[in-house]
Structure formats: C-alpha cells, structure tokens
Chains A and B, each alone.
Chain A
Amino acid sequence: MGDIQIKKSSKVYDAVIVGSGAGGGMSAYVLANAGAKVLLLEAGPFFDPVKHSQQLKFSYESPRRGAGSKLRAFGDFDAAYGGWELEGEPYTKKDNTQFDWFRSRMLGGRTNHWGRISLRFGPKDFQPTDGYSERWPLTYDEIKPYYDKVDMLIGVYGTKENLENDPDGIFLPPPKLRLNEMFIKQGAEKAGVKVIPGRGSVLTKALPNNKDRGACFFCGQCNRSCKVYADFSASSCLVIPAMKTGNLEVISNAMVREVLTDDKGLATGVSYVSKDDMQEYQVSGKTVILGASTCESTRIMFNSKSKTHPNGLANSSGVLGKYLQDSTGASLSGFLPKLMDRKRYNEDGVGSIHLLGPWVTDNKGLDFPRGYHIEFGGGMGMPGYGFGGDVPKLNGMVPGPDGKMKEAGGFGASLKNDYRRFYGTNVGMAGRGTGMARIDNYCEIDPNVVDRFGIPVLRFHYNWNNDEINQAKHMQETFQSIMHEMGAIVTSSERNAANNWGLEAPGRIIHEVGTARMGDDPKKSVLNKWCQAHDCKNLFVVDGSSHVQQSDKNATWTILAFSMRAAEYILDQRKKQNI
C-alpha cells in the first residue's frame, strides 16, 4: 500500500463533468461546441457502438443465447454492461424496504440500455393542479424550446396528436405498425383506450444537417446500440461528436470519490480513483457538473463533506437524497390464437415502440393520482434464451391442427410443430407510471459500509403506497380489457392484491429521479431551476436528480433538455463573470 499517492494535475479546465450519460453527455456536447475546455470523467470503460455493439449477431453467437448474466443483466447482446449488482460495489437497504439500483458504468451510461422511447413531460407534469405534489420551479413553456432543440439535434419519430399533456415534438415519420400491433390497436380502440404511434429516438430518415449518423435499417436492435448511430446513445450522439471539437477530453475508468471545495465552499475540482492503475487523482475545474446518475451524483455530494458543507455538498436544506422516485411498472402477456401458423416475413421494425398508449384519463373517480402510459409489443422476434418456454402450456389451451383439444405439455414431433405454430402469436403490454415523490423514500450514506475503492456506499429506504398499488391495479384492468377485446388469451400468472397487481419493486424500471430536487426556496431544495446548487454556485447537477416530481414519461428526454439548458446557462454566467 506504500505506493499510493495522490496525483494532482495543474491544468484547470473550464468544466469538469462527472458521468457520460444523457445528462453529462449533453453538457459536454454544448460546452465543448461553445469552445469551453472540458474534462469528462466516466467510471467505466470507453464504448463506441461502431466497435463494441453486438448488433446483427444471431442468438447462436452467444454461448448463453442472449440470456442475461451477472455481467450484463439484460442479456449478452444488450449494450449496457452491469446491472442491479456490481461486483465490489455494494449498496444496502434499510428497514426491510426494497430498492434495486441499476448501474451501467460505461461511456453513455444507461442510454445504452433504454428503449429509446422519447417523451416530453407535459404542462400538467411541471405545474400540477391536483395538489398531490409540489410544482416544478418552471413551466412547460420555459423548457419547450430546449425540448425542440433536443428533437432537432438527436431526432425523434412520432406524430402530431394535440394531446393536452403529451406535447408534440419536431418529429420524423414513425414506422408503420406490425401485425400484432394492428390487432392491439383494434382491441384498445374497442376497449376505449387511447393509442397513438410510438415516439422514439431512432432515425427513420436521415437527420437533416448531420453527416455522422446513418438512417435506421430496421433490425429492431436499438438495445444493442447502433453501429451506424441511427439511434440515440449518449456516446454516439453527444460525447464522441463533442470529442471531435478538440475541446473535450474523456478519462474512462475514473471512479469519482468527491467534489473538492475551497474555504468559501466553492467547487475547485474532483478527486477520483483510476480503475486502470488504482492510483488517486485530483483534477481542477472552474465549474463542476455532476451527471453520474441520480443516486450516484447524490452519493458523491454526500461524500463531499467539508467545513462549509458539513451535511454533504450543497445540502444545507437537508433535502439531498430525499424524494427518490422510480416509475411504477406492471405488465401482462398473452397470445393471439388467430395468429397461429402465421406467414413468416421480416418484421423486426425499429428497436423502440411502434405503438404507445398515452395517459389521457381524467383522475376524477380514480383512487390514485396521475397515471401511466402503455408500451406494446409482440411478434416474430429473433428467438433467444427462453424461447418457447410457454408453448407446453399454451398447446393445451387451443385446438391442435386436427381441430381437437389435447393435453398441455408433450414432446416429440407434435410438440416440435407446436413451437412453430405459436411463433409470433405473443402480445405484451407494459405500463410505466408515475411514482409519487415522498420525503420518506430516500437514499443516504450507510455509516458502516464502503465499496472496494473505500468509498462509502448508499443505503436505500423505499416503499410503494396505495398511490402506486392502485395504479397498478388499474393497469391490469386496462390490459385485461384490451386483451379481451382483441381476442387474446392471457398467459401471465394471476395479478392480484397479494402480489400488488404485478407492480415491480422500486428501482426495477430504472427511472429513478429526484434526490437533489430543484426549487426556488433554498431551504426546501438543493438546486435552483438552472440545475445550479443553491449552496455552491459553480456546482451543477444535470442528471435526473433535479426532478421535482416525475411523470409517467421516461426521464431521458427531460434530462437532455434540462442539461442543455443548464449548459447554456453556464456559458451565459461565465460571460457575465458570475461563475
């Protein structure tokens, strides 16, 4: 241990950014393109989809046929390394509550995993009038120009629908529905459930004025990340282009310990341990920007205690870590008997959704606030690990080719033929809804536990309550009615009160936000509406931490818009010499 030293760099960057996902990547992109000298620290390896994507591999090219593993939770081909458990990097849970924390330490972070479903928050999400949550310190109209710029910079398909709380964007044309989605749409319309074409950040057409990114060629594998950059990943769309300006340096495998501050409490830089050589480093910046992910940025702030910041950096309010929110999630699967023995053709489509069910229901008469959107799927995807697992159950539910019912299960030629008959008949629907911001859902530092780098770890405390559980019940009723109207047979196990109507545990939907919420009152919030810390004017937090109250919409598009806005504010404040 005698050879450990702290290596200090004398270079002072205009900004040091921690994290390379949607938040950190966007700030890096804006600042580097404006000529600022920027250093980006990423806790995992460098990742460029051109080299590292698993796109267009067949299932047999993986020894586990695409199954998930400890090292890649969403499967051998998914772009995202990591998962809910990382070796040597524990987290703990308090009072027998549950929160599962998904981490993807790599360039682009969790933008490598998500479904590219790209939705704007609506006016009511920022300024709710139902009294259930605090309002954001700004309105939809204030953030709208940034959503517009994100749409134009990155690209998103969709259609103009003029919905009150699901604002339209600047859209590329959406892909047409696949066969199963056409049946789902019919069923939903009969059941009185609103459905619209999907909205996803995939370039169904070449993006105007962008020569670096290709157009989609419809392999349906966005989750593997795209070798021609036709989908949004923070690596391909933000960090790698920003590096080409010559103004951005990226250090990978740099695990940040803390933000360094001076006597006045201002940020001076960041200390990190390099996973490559296990040495300690300190780097200096005029501004420090955290985009390490909601809980990781919070962890860094807690671990950056000093005389001027005794409760953790920028935590004079005591609000840091509180109001942790993940989306609700529940799903239902089934199959369409009328699609048995269907004709084969390539229907891979795009790797985001083709059909979306936005929340347009009035909450009057419902026993929960807010709502959820529905993501639909099904069809002739590439068989992977787990393929056909249901067939020995399903083959007892419908008549065989001879028109006669038979016993479920079996083996041999008849079972082999059943796998063929049922292929592509599946339909699935997943609800993603608002988890309410509550002060007693939080993360904090566990006083007794450190990770393998000696960094104190997070401890979580999280419970759902009836707001979320009743919402999941409503989801299941909606799913059941769509399944019924489209003539599908439900194959999922029973959803009931005993299993919270299939409500996933907190953290499983990977939409956690809120632990450094923004607000006008420094006593009740960590950040102001520019994502700038009330207590430390040259510290910005640009990931989901700033979100006051999530909506049913995935957070990514909103993180991008707020990070872009924060970065432009930093440029403006530097010009005015305020920071």
Chain B
Amino acid sequence: MNRRDSLKALTIGTLSTEVLLKACKPKEQNTDVSGSGSGDQKGEADRPQNELDRNAKLNAEKFFTEHEMATITILADIIIPKDEKSGSASDAKVPDFIEFMVKDVPDHQIPMRGGLRWLDIQMLNLHGNPFKDCNSDQQIQMVTEIAYPAKAAPEMQQGVAFFNRMRSLTASGFFTSKIGLDDIGYVGNRPNQWNGVPDDVLKQYGLAYTERELKESISFSA
C-alpha cells in the first residue's frame, strides 16, 4: 500500500468510525444508565462497554450545586477571559469539563468543594456576600491575593492551593476545547508529510540539517 492508498484507506476508516461514534454518542451522554447493557453495538463501538458505561454513569451524576457552578464559572472566566483572539473559559464550556473531572477523579472533590467554601467565607467576612454575589472589583481583589503563590500572605495559603487547582483545571479545559486548540495554534492531528523544520524557522534560529541527515532521512518533495 503506498501513501495515497493508505490515506484513502484511512478516510474510509475514519468515516466509518465517525458513523459508529455517532451511533454510540447518545449512550455516552445519556443520563439513563439502564439501557447500556444492550449488546447490539458490541464489537462495533470503538470503546469497550465498561468505558462507555463508566462515562454514562459519570454524566448521569451531579456533583456541584448551582451555587458552586456559578462560582466556578466566574472564577474560570477571571482566569481565562475573552480577549481579541478567542472566547472565554465559559465560552469553551470549561465549567462542564470541571464538573466531569471531579466525578472522574474524586481526589479533586474535597479540595474543590472546600476551596469554594473557603472563598465564600472570606468574602462573607469581608463584604457580607458569597464570592459570586460580590462585585467584580471585590472578586478581583480576592483572586489577586491567592493567584501569586510566592507573595501570598501565610493566611491565604489554603486559597492559593485551591486557586492553583482551579487554574490548572481551567487551562486544561480551555486549551483542549476547539476554541482553545485554535487559540494556541495547534495545527496537527491530520494526515501530512513530515519533511523537517520549515526553512524560515531553521533560518530564524540559525539551524541547519547536516548533509548526512538530509541524505538519510525520509524526505518529500513539495
């Protein structure tokens, strides 16, 4: 099989995979777990049944309260706001991703729930309102106190630990979304021919392949 044939075979493979994926997507997102035992798709789905069942089960559960989700949404958008290049964390559905991850990785649950509560208590004591109901200046002021680990006050350390986790989950969720992948400029994950670092980039960094490398490596004419 030459490269063109292999790309053709791939297209066929991809198409059929997409069709199959669509066929099992309702199940993945289904909130009803009871139907997941039906054996019709067995051997056709590209994931084993136990994985599909697990995703369906997690999707059917709800961890965060509405109050907590509202707080997560505000925090996520403070961490990654909309700018001239792309949308915000909530535009990229980061809060939904965080809701899924804390169910998938239960170790996140107590630090996230407790951290959100810690934040609310700080704000209640300072301003008489939970975080989500404080004004933007008040929110930013608090976030500023917990967003810089090295200069945060000792009594803010629990908040720093929570914010580190929240910030990591937000970056994970945003830059793995379609909006985030476009923003970061990832242009791979598609059939192509790797022909080495582009000439202008080699020039920019003052690099060159050796004659031996050029002679022995796989090369493609443009």
Chain A residues closer than 8 Å to B105, beta-carbon distance: 67
In the complex, residue of chain B having the shortest beta-carbon distance to the beta carbon of A345: B198
Whether the Cβ atoms of B193 and A218 lie closer than 8 Å is: yes
- Any chain B CB within 8 A of the CB of A412? yes
- Any chain A CB within 8 A of the CB of B126? no
| Residue-wise interface mask of B (154-186) relative to A, using a CB-CB cutoff of 8 A (1 in contact, 0 not) | 000000000010011001110111101101111
B6, B43, B181, B190 pick with most chain A CB within 10 angstroms: B6
Interface of A is mostly: loop
In chain B, residues 95-154, which have Cβ atoms closer than 8 Å to a Cβ of chain A? 97, 100-101, 104-105, 143, 147-151
A46 to B42, CA, bound (A): 11
Whether the Cβ atoms of A179 and B201 lie closer than 8 Å is: yes
Whether the Cβ atoms of B216 and A174 lie closer than 8 Å is: yes
- Any chain B CB within 8 A of the CB of A230? yes
- Any chain A CB within 8 A of the CB of B34? no
Whether the Cβ atoms of A410 and B148 lie closer than 8 Å is: yes
Whether the Cβ atoms of A177 and B209 lie closer than 8 Å is: yes
Decide: A220 near B100, CB < 8 A? Known: A50-B13, A407-B148, A408-B149: no
B13, B78, B193 pick with most chain A CB within 10 angstroms: B13
| Residue-wise interface mask of B (1-30) relative to A, using a CB-CB cutoff of 8 A (1 in contact, 0 not) | 111011101100110010010000000100
Whether the Cβ atoms of B51 and A65 lie closer than 8 Å is: no
Chain A residues closer than 8 Å to B190, beta-carbon distance: 56, 219, 346
In the complex, residue of chain A having the shortest beta-carbon distance to the beta carbon of B54: A71
Whether the Cβ atoms of B9 and A383 lie closer than 8 Å is: no
A410 to B148, CA, bound (A): 6
Chain B residues closer than 8 Å to A173, beta-carbon distance: 216-219
Chain A residues closer than 8 Å to B185, beta-carbon distance: 344, 380, 420, 423
Interface hit among A144-152, A205-213, A516-524, A549-557: A205-213
Give the residue of A46, A50, A344, A392 whose beta carbon is less than 8 angstroms from that of B43. A46
Whether the Cβ atoms of A383 and B10 lie closer than 8 Å is: no
Interface size class of B (residues with CB under 8 A): 35 or more
CB distance from A240 to the nearest CB of B (A): 14
Chain B residues closer than 8 Å to A71, beta-carbon distance: 48, 50-51, 54
Whether the Cβ atoms of B51 and A72 lie closer than 8 Å is: yes
- Any chain A CB within 8 A of the CB of B197? yes
Chain B residues closer than 8 Å to A205, beta-carbon distance: 218
Whether the Cβ atoms of B192 and A408 lie closer than 8 Å is: no
Decide: A343 near B204, CB < 8 A? Known: A54-B46, A419-B184: yes
In the complex, residue of chain A having the shortest beta-carbon distance to the beta carbon of B44: A51
A46 to B79, CA, bound (A): 44
Whether the Cβ atoms of B194 and A175 lie closer than 8 Å is: yes
In the complex, residue of chain B having the shortest beta-carbon distance to the beta carbon of A106: B48
In chain A, residues 216-235, which have Cβ atoms closer than 8 Å to a Cβ of chain B? 217-221, 227-228, 230
- Any chain A CB within 8 A of the CB of B40? no
A391 to B167, CA, bound (A): 10
CB distance from B83 to the nearest CB of A (A): 5
Whether the Cβ atoms of B9 and A176 lie closer than 8 Å is: no
Chain B residues closer than 8 Å to A212, beta-carbon distance: 1
Whether the Cβ atoms of B46 and A53 lie closer than 8 Å is: yes
Decide: A345 near B201, CB < 8 A? Known: A218-B194, A382-B186: yes
Chain B residues closer than 8 Å to A347, beta-carbon distance: 188, 194, 197
A51 to B6, CA, bound (A): 15
In the complex, residue of chain B having the shortest beta-carbon distance to the beta carbon of A407: B148
In chain B, residues 207-222, which have Cβ atoms closer than 8 Å to a Cβ of chain A? 207, 209, 213, 216-219
- Any chain B CB within 8 A of the CB of A338? yes
In the complex, residue of chain A having the shortest beta-carbon distance to the beta carbon of B53: A71
Give the residue of A63, A210, A385, A420 whose beta carbon is less than 8 angstroms from that of B184. A420
Whether the Cβ atoms of B194 and A64 lie closer than 8 Å is: no
Closest 6 CB pairs of A and B: A214-B6, A344-B185, A176-B196, A59-B176, A388-B171, A217-B191
Q: Which B residues contact A (CB, under 8 angstroms)?
A: 1-3, 5-7, 9-10, 13-14, 17, 20, 28, 43-44, 46-48, 50-51, 54-55, 58-59, 78-81, 83, 97, 100-101, 104-105, 143, 147-151, 164, 167-168, 171-173, 175-178, 180-181, 183-198, 200-201, 204-205, 207, 209, 213, 216-219
20 contacts between A and B (CB under 8 A): A58-B189, A60-B177, A63-B100, A64-B104, A67-B104, A176-B219, A219-B191, A219-B192, A228-B1, A338-B205, A346-B188, A346-B190, A382-B189, A386-B168, A388-B171, A408-B149, A408-B150, A412-B79, A419-B184, A420-B183
